[in-house]
A and B are shown apart, each in its own frame.
Chain A
Amino acid sequence: MLRFEGVWKGYGGAPALAGVDLEVPEARTTVLIGPSGCGKSTLLRLAAGLIRPDRGRIWFEGEPLRPDRLRPARLRMGYMIQDGGLFPHLTVRDNVTLMARELGWPRDRREPRLAELAEMVQLPADLLARYPIELSGGQRQRVALMRALMLDPDLLLLDEPLGALDPMIRFELQRELKAIFARLGKTVLLVTHDLAEAVFFGHRLVLLRAGQVVQQAAPSVLLARPTEPFVARFVEAQREPQRVLLGAVG
Chain B
Amino acid sequence: MTCQARRATPHRAVTPERRETPMTFDRRTLRRAGDDRVGAKPQRRLGSFAPWPLERSDPARRLATILVLLLIAIALAGWSPGPLAEDVAPRPVTIGSKKFTESVILGETLRLLALDAGQPARHRAELGGTRILWGALLSGEIDIYPEYSGTLTREILAGEDVGSPESLAAALATRGIRVSASLGFQNTYAVAVPAALAERLELRQISDLQAHPDLMLGFSSEFLDRADGWPGLRQRYRLPQTRVKGLDHDLVYRGIAAGHIDVTVVYTTDAEIARYGLRMLEDDLGYFADYEAILLYRAELAAEAPAALAAFHRLEGKVDEATMARMNAKVKLGGASEQAAAVDLLSETLGLSVSVSAQGFWGQMARRTLEHLGLVAASLTAAILLAVPLGVLAAQHPRLGQLLLAITGMIQTIPSLALFVFLIPWLGIGWLPTVVALFLYSLLPIIRNTHAGLTDIPVPIRESADVIGLTRGARLRLVELPLAANTILAGIKTSAVLNVGTATVAALIGAGGYGQPILTGIRLDDTALIMQGAVPAALLALALQGVFELAEHWVVPRGLRPRKTRGASVEKAI
Let me know if B570 and A87 touch, CB within 8 A: no
Report if A131-B559 is in contact (Cβ < 8 Å); known contacts: A87-B479, A89-B483. Answer: yes
Let me know if A89 and B560 touch, CB within 8 A: yes
B510 surroundings in chain A (CB, below 8 A): none
Let me know if A64 is at the binding interface, CB within 8 A. no
Let me know if B407 is at the binding interface, CB within 8 A. no
B:445-482 near A, CB below 8 Å: 460-461, 463-471, 474, 478-479, 482
Most chain A C-beta atoms within 10 Å of own C-beta, residue among B468, B478, B573:
B468
A197 surroundings in chain B (CB, below 8 A): none
Let me know if B570 and A136 touch, CB within 8 A: yes
Report if A136-B468 is in contact (Cβ < 8 Å); known contacts: A89-B557, A90-B559. Answer: no
Mask for B560-574, Cβ within 8 A of A = 1, else 0? 100100101011111
Q: Which of A49, A77, A79, A98 contacts B478 (CB 8 A)?
A: A98
A79 surroundings in chain B (CB, below 8 A): 464, 467-468
> How many angstroms between the C-alpha atoms of A172 and B558 in the bound complex?
30
B464 to chain A, nearest CB (A): 4
Let me know if B559 and A133 touch, CB within 8 A: yes
Report if A142-B574 is in contact (Cβ < 8 Å); known contacts: A94-B54, A131-B559. Answer: yes
Let me know if B57 is at the binding interface, CB within 8 A. yes
Let me know if B56 and A94 touch, CB within 8 A: yes
A54 surroundings in chain B (CB, below 8 A): none
Q: Which of A48, A89, A91 contacts B467 (CB 8 A)?
A: A48
Let me know if B10 is at the binding interface, CB within 8 A. no
A122 to chain B, nearest CB (A): 8
Mask for B534-574, Cβ within 8 A of A = 1, else 0? 00000000000000000000000111100100101011111
Let me know if B560 and A71 touch, CB within 8 A: no
Using CB atoms, name the residue of chain B closest to A99. Answer: B468
> How many angstroms between the C-alpha atoms of A85 and B458 in the bound complex?
9
Q: Which of A133, A134, A147, A173 contacts B468 (CB 8 A)?
A: A147
Let me know if A46 is at the binding interface, CB within 8 A. no
B467 surroundings in chain A (CB, below 8 A): 48-50, 74, 77, 79, 157
B450 to chain A, nearest CB (A): 16
Let me know if A1 is at the binding interface, CB within 8 A. no
A88 surroundings in chain B (CB, below 8 A): 461, 483, 559-560
Report if A132-B574 is in contact (Cβ < 8 Å); known contacts: A87-B479, A101-B54. Answer: no
Let me know if A138 is at the binding interface, CB within 8 A. yes
Let me know if B433 is at the binding interface, CB within 8 A. no
Let me know if B53 is at the binding interface, CB within 8 A. yes
Let me know if B56 and A91 touch, CB within 8 A: yes
B573 surroundings in chain A (CB, below 8 A): 136, 138
Using CB atoms, name the residue of chain B closest to A165. Answer: B574
Mask for A100-140, Cβ within 8 A of B = 1, else 0? 01100000000000000000000000000011111110110
Let me know if A177 is at the binding interface, CB within 8 A. no
B573 to chain A, nearest CB (A): 7
> How many angstroms between the C-alpha atoms of A74 and B466 in the bound complex?
8
Using CB atoms, name the residue of chain A closest to B566. Answer: A134
Let me know if B570 and A135 touch, CB within 8 A: yes
> How many angstroms between the C-alpha atoms of A89 and B63 in the bound complex?
14
A123 to chain B, nearest CB (A): 9
B466 surroundings in chain A (CB, below 8 A): 49-50, 74
Let me know if A75 is at the binding interface, CB within 8 A. yes
> How many angstroms between the C-alpha atoms of A192 and B568 in the bound complex?
33
> How many angstroms between the C-alpha atoms of A136 and B478 in the bound complex?
24
A248 to chain B, nearest CB (A): 28
Let me know if A91 and B468 touch, CB within 8 A: no
Let me know if A136 and B559 touch, CB within 8 A: no
Let me know if B59 is at the binding interface, CB within 8 A. yes
Let me know if A133 and B563 touch, CB within 8 A: yes
Using CB atoms, name the residue of chain B closest to A141. Answer: B574
Let me know if A169 is at the binding interface, CB within 8 A. yes
A:66-88 near B, CB below 8 Å: 71, 74-75, 77, 79, 81, 83, 85-88
> How many angstroms between the C-alpha atoms of A81 and B482 in the bound complex?
22
Report if A71-B471 is in contact (Cβ < 8 Å); known contacts: A50-B463, A81-B464, A90-B57. Answer: yes
> How many angstroms between the C-alpha atoms of A136 and B56 in the bound complex?
23
> How many angstroms between the C-alpha atoms of A90 and B59 in the bound complex?
9
Most chain B C-beta atoms within 10 Å of own C-beta, residue among A81, A88, A130, A132:
A88
> How many angstroms between the C-alpha atoms of A111 and B560 in the bound complex?
25
B574 surroundings in chain A (CB, below 8 A): 136, 138-139, 142, 169, 172-173
A102 surroundings in chain B (CB, below 8 A): 53, 469-470, 474, 478
Most chain B C-beta atoms within 10 Å of own C-beta, residue among A77, A134, A157:
A134
Q: Which of B53, B563, B571 contacts A101 (CB 8 A)?
A: B53
Report if A131-B557 is in contact (Cβ < 8 Å); known contacts: A91-B56, A102-B53. Answer: yes
Most chain A C-beta atoms within 10 Å of own C-beta, residue among B465, B467, B558:
B467
Mask for A35-52, Cβ within 8 A of B = 1, else 0? 000000000000011100
Let me know if A85 and B469 touch, CB within 8 A: no
Q: Which of A49, A50, A71, A136 contacts B572 (CB 8 A)?
A: A136
> How many angstroms between the C-alpha atoms of A142 and B574 in the bound complex?
9
A75 surroundings in chain B (CB, below 8 A): 469
Q: Which 10 A-B pairs have the closest CB atoms?
A: A131-B559, A138-B574, A85-B464, A79-B467, A101-B53, A74-B469, A85-B460, A134-B568, A75-B469, A89-B557
| Sample of 18 further A-B pairs with CB below 8 A, known A89-B557, A102-B53, A102-B469 | A74-B468, A75-B469, A79-B467, A88-B559, A89-B59, A89-B479, A89-B483, A90-B559, A91-B559, A94-B56, A94-B57, A101-B54, A133-B563, A136-B570, A136-B572, A136-B574, A142-B574, A147-B468
Identify the A interface with B (CB < 8 A).
48-50, 71, 74-75, 77, 79, 81, 83, 85-91, 94, 98-99, 101-102, 130-136, 138-139, 142, 147, 151, 157, 169, 172-173
Identify the B interface with A (CB < 8 A).
53-54, 56-57, 59, 460-461, 463-471, 474, 478-479, 482-483, 557-560, 563, 566, 568, 570-574
Q: Identify 13 residue pairs between A and B in the complex whose beta-carbon atoms are under 8 Å apart, listed by A's number.
A: A74-B467, A81-B460, A89-B557, A98-B468, A98-B478, A99-B468, A99-B470, A101-B53, A131-B558, A134-B558, A134-B563, A147-B468, A172-B574
